[in-house]
Homo-oligomer: A and B are copies of this chain.
Amino acid sequence: MDLVQKILEGDPRSAARLMTMIENGAAESVSILKSLYRHTGRAYVIGVTGPPGSGKSTLADGITGDLRQRGKTVGIVAVDPTSPFTGGAILADRIRMQRHSLDPGVFIRSMATRGHLGGLARSTNDVVDVLDAAGKEYVLIETVGVGQDEIEIVRSAHTNIVVAVPGMGDDIQAIKAGVMEIGDLFVVNKADRDGADKTVMEIEMTLHLGKETDAWRPKVLKTVAVKAEGVAEVTREILEHQAFLQQHEGQRRKGRERSYWVFFELLQERLTTRVIEQVASNGTLDRLIERIAARETDPYSAVEEVLKRAGL
């Protein structure tokens, strides 16, 4: 339990050690996370989601710089869909972020899926909790966002930034659609390229199509993150949204939502693992799969059988 104390004191090496345990699925991490949990809930969590090549890292880097200038401490979690094949993406992120690497007020962590099944949203949540307990006032989660999985990763953020770039081709509508509802703020990065205003307009149009469920009206901002153009305004808008949430009790609501998602992700993972282990241990799983493959039974009936055996 020495590790708990050291993390609470903000020791980066201890935080990194726990994060590695979380990523490796080490059983000891659970008791430490349990002890840390009551010290969490203070960090303000910001999601940065966008398609490949949209400059999310550079933007996150800029926002981090702005927050540091305001005297705030920052944790960054970069979620990469990487694999045992290559650690390239992780390395690239670390290099890109080296501007802050000597600053003790910034902690950067890259998360990789490493091909393991699901659980990424859960382990990202855990890492955010570690940064929160370690006293980081802002935590940025950066994801390559197109699919449902990425949305789940940032679902629990207080402010979600969706990054687009001009001229992404036919599929832009699909991307926009998938992440549209989660956006509290939209950024068209690389706005010195042709078509930036068109992309801004397209996003604004899509926003107007959506129902207004909140008093908050998401803005669409233009940036050229590599030249730091427009980034300060993005940071200001984040802080504006934070103030808005505090005024409207939104921070409490988001906190409750976050608790639900964290609980849900963890329940799903633990439940499935538990039941799969049960049926695998006595050979039932193998027999079921053989019978499904041979069309002697169907997946629905097989799952019903397993649920029944588990008394559910």
Contacts and interface: CB of A to CB of B under 8 A. Distances in A.
Nearest to A254: B293
Interface in A25-40: 30, 33-34, 37-38, 40
Interface in A251-287: 252, 255-256, 258-260, 262-264, 266-268, 270-272, 274-276, 278
A34 B81 contact: no
Nearest to A50: B171
B206 A292 contact: no
Interface size class of A (residues with CB under 8 A): 35 or more
A118 interface: yes
Q: Which 3 A-B pairs have the closest CB atoms?
A: A53-B169, A81-B178, A52-B171
A275 to B, nearest CB: 6
A256 B53 contact: no
Interface in A175-209: 175-181, 206, 209
A243 interface: no
Interface stretch (A8-16, A65-73, A83-91): A83-91
A34 B296 CA distance: 11
B41 A295 contact: yes
A289 B260 contact: yes
Contact of A276 (B169, B264, B301): B264
Contacts of A302: 263
A172 B52 contact: yes
Contact of A86 (B209, B297, B299): B209
A149 interface: yes
A168 interface: yes
A150 interface: yes
Given A272-B271, A312-B275, A175 B52 contact: yes
A229 to B, nearest CB: 18
Nearest to A82: B177
A147 B52 CA distance: 11
Contacts of A178: 80-83, 113
A273 to B, nearest CB: 10
Contacts of A82: 174, 177-178
